Amino acid sequence: MSENRKKRILSGMRPTGKMHLGNYVGALENWVKLQNEYENLHLIADYHVLTTKLDTKEILTNTMEMLIDWLAVGIDPVKSPVFRQSKIKEHSELHLIFSMLVTTARLERNPTLKEQVKDLNIDSLIYGHLGYPVLQAADILIYKGEIVPVGEDQAPHVEITREIARKFNTTYDEVFPIPKTKLTNFARLPGLDRNKMSKSLGNTILISDNSEDIRKKMMKAITDPEKIRRNDPGRPEVCLVNTYHKKFNENKIEEINSGCKSGELGCVDCKKMCATAISEQLAPFTEKRQYYSDNRDEVMDILLDGEKRAAKIAKSTMEQVRKAMSLG
């Protein structure tokens, strides 16, 4: 690979349907910013769905809704091809090879896996879930990804990718770069109930929500439990709504904090201000989202084009892998 070219990023998500603010501030906003600086590829990780859910009937619908949101917020498919993992068969082949290069003990130490098992109340862990980071390593390295923008919870997975890349390179030949983690500056945005933002918990604001939906949802957000009446002094440092203000109302945060602490700013007005700020930031995405929602054939064409481009890179990498291993 030429030294004067842009470094390559592989990033992706499982297809979960419409995106929420946590997806936006934790990933999508960052992806859009990186498009001019790096060579980006964006993966729709449909095989990864199977690690926690065997029902596949909604995968295509969820894929399309998610991709529409990606395009609406500014992912440029010309610069950044988007594609489904399951359509690039080299992912599976490289995953199989990588599974020979890592121990089960190493995978069991993965803190992200432990957290998922606890959150999902899993009694019996399936092989595919345990090996989730190995498939993720194949996702990244099949495209020779050098930078992986992730939230804090995914950083341990990237470390496993780095270990597998080093193991392959020392065992066979120098085929893979050792990717670096790029944490986003605002990696996590809690849900409206302080828990992790999740559609299954009903604590999200969606990118596709209109201003009235946003206002209604924000009215339910948890605030400082000690600020009961309007004139009571508040503690912005413990208020969930203030976390949203820091992201979506940054220019007014000092004024908001001052009003909260003095009691001048009541929680209802504070929530209304926050909802307005969120609506204003999401407004530019609404028209684009409606266009793509109305033109789903065009969205599918974008997907198919991205898959052709991704397949070309993946095929080339696997040819190098087989040669290094004397398999081809």
pLDDT at residue 272 greater than cutoff 60: yes
**What was the pLDDT predicted at 185?**
60
pLDDT at 160 over 90: yes
Arch. (CATH architecture) of 209-288: Orthogonal Bundle (1.10)
Per-residue model confidence (pLDDT) at position 310: 98
Which CATH number is 8-189+295-324's, of 2.70.50.60, 3.40.47.10, 3.40.50.620, 3.20.20.70? 3.40.50.620
- Name the residue ranges covered by the structural domains of the chain: 8-189+295-324, 209-288
d(CA 259, CA 185): 27
What pLDDT does 3 receive? 57
> Burial of 92 by CB count in 10 Å (0-12 exposed, 13-18 middle, 19+ buried)?
middle
pLDDT tens-digit map of 117-159: 887 778 788 999 999 999 999 999 999 999 988 767 777 888 9
Q: Among residues 174, 128, 136, which one has the least CA distance to residue 158?
A: 136
Tokens coding 315: 């095929």
Mean pLDDT in residue range 177-186: 80
> For residue 61, is pLDDT > 80?
yes
Angle of helix 132-141 relative to helix 155-171, nearest 10 degrees, comes to 70
